[in-house]
Amino acid sequence: MKKHLLLFVPLFLSGCPMGDRINQHPAQAEVINGKLCVFVNQKNVVKNENILNVRIWKGGNNKYVYDKSYAMNPIPLEAGKCIPEISDFNFVSGAIYSITIQTPLNPYKTKFIFNKDGDEVRLEK
């Protein structure tokens, strides 16, 4: 028994061969009428799901600057439709942001630089 257990020790120490990667699907960010719109294209939506959580990270920050849970009242993830309430967040010009939309089975993510010059807002990938 000990001989067989010793054969598996290297596997236990090395961890999962797939690593700790989570397959994230792309989301898109656009500025529409001066407001940020984050959405998922039809081709990127894996299946009909509900949004459980939306998180925003600001570059250089190791914590969320926005975390909204929809677990109690999930809303459907509709292809091409803006995720609610993200446009109300006060984005800082010149900052790098990463937004994750979490569904029960799949995370969707986008990353961009938010730039605001006067009344014009633009995103840089």
Among the listed residues 89, 82, 98, the one whose alpha carbon sits nearest the alpha carbon of residue 39: 82
Report all structural domains of the chain as residue ranges with CATH numbers, in order of start. Answer: 22-118 (2.60.40.10)
Is residue 97 within 8 A of residue 56, CB to CB? The reply is yes
What is the token pair recorded at 49? Answer: 């799901």
pLDDT of 111 reads 93
DSSP secondary structure of 44-58 = G--SS-EE-EEEEEE
Question: 């609610």: which residue's tokens?
Answer: 84
Per-residue pLDDT of the chain (125 residues; tens, 9 = 90+): 555 545 555 545 455 554 445 688 999 998 888 788 999 999 988 888 999 999 999 988 778 899 999 999 989 999 999 998 998 999 888 889 999 999 998 999 999 998 887 656 677 76
Instruction: Please give the C-alpha separations between residue 116 and each of 1, 28, 32, 43, in angstroms, as whole numbers.
Output: 66, 18, 13, 30
